[in-house]
Structure 1
Amino acid sequence: MNPRLPETRAALETRHAVRDWLGKYAPDGVVAVGLSGGADSLALTAAAAVEAAAVDAYVVDHGVQDGSAEVAARAAATAMELGCRSARVLTVRVGTEGGLEAAARRARYAALDRARSDLPVLLGHTLDDQAETVLLGLARGSGGRSIQGMTEYAEPWGRPLLGVRRAVTRQLCADLGVRPWEDPHNSSPEFTRVRLRTEVLPLLEEVLGGGVAPALARTAAQLREDGAALGEIADELLKSEIDGAALRLETLATVAPALRRRVIRAWLLAGGAKSLTDSNLRAVEALVTDWRGQGGVAVGGSVTGTRLVAARERGRLILGSAHSGPDRGRHHL
């Protein structure tokens, strides 16, 4: 028997969001879903079970809280009751690097990626999550890219509910008679995102008269569209200015800064640079626009015993290596 949902406003809104996503990105209708047992992922799972041809649910047990195995088993059982084709619990070990929240996220995504069998994985991020992400990006101050928020689909991760409020997913769970799990970490003020959710966004709503979360999500969407358009132009410019592995500077020096930095960023990433920051990009850009004979710029990538360095040489940008040991001042370019 096919799964059914009640004909409520929350159910219809969530179903339409999932249906639209499937039509764009998974026309065969076979998907996986990352299920935590919380309201957002439960609502997503319920709607996907109705709208998709088949849904495999994956529940990650991080093992960092007492009773996590029972929570995960209950979520998997609920997924089957909602109409999923299968449901599995993935047990992971969470490290400590970067803090608990970041380490748990890395472990979760890695486990889902291993288990998904080439299927897209739907995640329960909502419009409210998007607003929080934009504010976090704004605090980093790394330009438009940092406040573009999450995208509907960045293979293999799908986010059908980015236009749906958290209140809607909670209401759908209530309509279904399903009790979501309340993760105690989601109310712990030691996490920055929790303070954004419980303190900052409510204050902004009060001071600015409401509508802040949707406005932040709209801004992120507009910036993604603008960024995609500029990215296409920058890609064409990069192709025209590549000289072997080097980058010619004559045209690059005359284009708008937004295009120039995108070209430089794409070139650096293609050359092996890692974790580029705004200061990295601007330092390399200065080799083009403010050339005073300065030395190379370390850009994050490395191999054993060396650092990746961008430098200027005879009217071109080139990438080379510099020792990171006792003789680290010696460049090989």
Structure 2
Amino acid sequence: MARIPAPVAAVRTAVRRGLADLPSGALVLVACSGGADSLSLAAAARFVAGRVGLVTVDHGLQEGSDRRARSVAAWARDADFDPVRVSTVTVAGLPGGPEAAARTARYTALETAAAELGAAAVLLGHTRDDQAETVLLALARGAGPRGLAGMPQRRGVFRRPLLEVARADTRKACAALGLAPWEDPHNTDPAYARSRVRATALPTLVTELGAAVVGNLARTAALLAADNEALDELAAEALERARSGDGLSVAALAGLPSAIRGRVLHRWARELGAPGGALAFGHVMSLDALVTDWHGQGEACLPGGIAVARRHSDLVRVVPAPVK
């Protein structure tokens, strides 16, 4: 019996672990762009899982993107993926820069496909290297523990089974299986911060600190993700205890450790309708000042047109946003 190449085995093992809890016969969809990461992921899922479909998203941002999507879909049909779907999305008009808008459109399309097809999971091809890049970008932005936790292994219908697999191994797996991955020109475009991290920042760290830095950055994300989960549970309990009438008790909030109080206020702001992508550190600190540094200041304004003020009854309460 022929020996399975180590990179192929690594990708298959990761996918098998990532799907271990799914019931027999559950439909799994692979999000596949045709790049080495998602192509090796798709091949592994087809090998280890029972029912596997594939979705490729055409963002329409590059000339020939429709042909690329059709080519990926044709490969999937030949490889007995079922169902196979090409999802064409419109990026123009979505909030954020080009990367953020494309990501929003892509995830919406994948969630729609999963719902319509009855899929139990959608697999994404992010690797250990992607996670390390995400941590570096979060550090550069001054992100807190939530940002430094990087991409979660699971969120909703999405799963990332390759977060402990090196990008180099996905390329080697494709080569061993005779697969020809597509090279996305956006991955080397210096206009994008992630591309600069990939081409320069992370390789420089590897040169100066050793190859283990990539795995160490990814491991940091995993450790922080576990801490975040525990702290979020404590914050959810603290938020319920702090509720009083139509606001939050200042006394209850003031008695919390700052790490928990910040999470409580962040969670409460989200409940009030503040968009998660726009809710920044400064917004939460303005709320916190109403509790810990109250000296008669006005409302703490939150994104989404919400204003919050500490009342004389020792509550932090929602008040109407000022009319412009």
TM-score, scaled relative to structure 1 = 0.91
In structure 2, C-alpha distance between the alignment counterparts of 1:112 and 1:45, rounded to whole Å: 15
CA contact (8 A) 2:38 2:124 kept: yes
User: 2:172 matched to which residue of 1?
Assistant: 171
2:279 corresponds to 1:276? yes
In structure 1, C-alpha distance between the alignment counterparts of 2:135 and 2:165, rounded to whole Å: 16
In structure 2, C-alpha distance between the alignment counterparts of 1:324 and 1:169, rounded to whole Å: 54
Matched letter for residue 318 of structure 1: R
User: 1:321 matched to which residue of 2?
Assistant: 320
Secondary structure (helix, strand or coil) at the match of 1:88 reads strand
Q: Which runs of 5+ in 2 are unaligned?
A: none
User: 1:331 matched to which residue of 2?
Assistant: none
User: Which deviates the most, 263-272 or 176-185?
Assistant: 263-272
In structure 1, C-alpha distance between the alignment counterparts of 2:31 and 2:241, rounded to whole Å: 42
Secondary structure (helix, strand or coil) at the match of 2:19 reads helix
| 1:32–1:244 distance in 2 versus 1, CA, 3 Å | farther
CA contact (8 A) 2:149 2:222 kept: yes
In structure 1, C-alpha distance between the alignment counterparts of 2:298 and 2:199, rounded to whole Å: 47
In structure 1, C-alpha distance between the alignment counterparts of 2:154 and 2:24, rounded to whole Å: 14
Cα offset, 1:27, TM superposition: 6.0
Secondary structure (helix, strand or coil) at the match of 1:310 reads strand
User: Which deviates the most, 198-207 or 112-121?
Assistant: 112-121
User: 1:304 matched to which residue of 2?
Assistant: none
User: 1:133 matched to which residue of 2?
Assistant: 134
In structure 2, C-alpha distance between the alignment counterparts of 1:277 and 1:114, rounded to whole Å: 29
User: 1:254 matched to which residue of 2?
Assistant: 255
CA contact (8 A) 1:46 1:83 kept: no
Cα offset, 1:80, TM superposition: 2.5
Provide Cα deviations, 1:140-166, integer angstroms capped at 9, x if missing partner: 213111111001110121111111110
User: 1:296 matched to which residue of 2?
Assistant: 299
Provide Cα deviations, 1:61-96, integer angstroms capped at 9, x if missing partner: 112212212211111122223331221211122215
In structure 1, C-alpha distance between the alignment counterparts of 2:214 and 2:19, rounded to whole Å: 25
What is the Cα-based RMSD across aligned positions, in Å?
1.7
One of 79, 82, 89 as aligned partner of 1:82 = 79
One of 36, 39, 44 as aligned partner of 1:39 = 36
CA contact (8 A) 1:10 1:172 kept: yes
In structure 1, C-alpha distance between the alignment counterparts of 2:285 and 2:109, rounded to whole Å: 36
CA contact (8 A) 1:59 1:88 kept: yes
User: 1:111 matched to which residue of 2?
Assistant: 109
In structure 1, C-alpha distance between the alignment counterparts of 2:318 and 2:53, rounded to whole Å: 44
In structure 1, C-alpha distance between the alignment counterparts of 2:3 and 2:70, rounded to whole Å: 25
Provide Cα deviations, 1:6-47, integer angstroms capped at 9, x if missing partner: 721111111111111111466654211111010001011011
Secondary structure (helix, strand or coil) at the match of 2:321 reads strand
User: 2:15 matched to which residue of 1?
Assistant: 18
- Whose relative contact order is higher, 1 or 2, with alpha carbons under 8 Å and at least 6 apart? 2
Identity of paired residues, percent?
Answer: 45
In structure 2, C-alpha distance between the alignment counterparts of 1:163 and 1:19, rounded to whole Å: 13
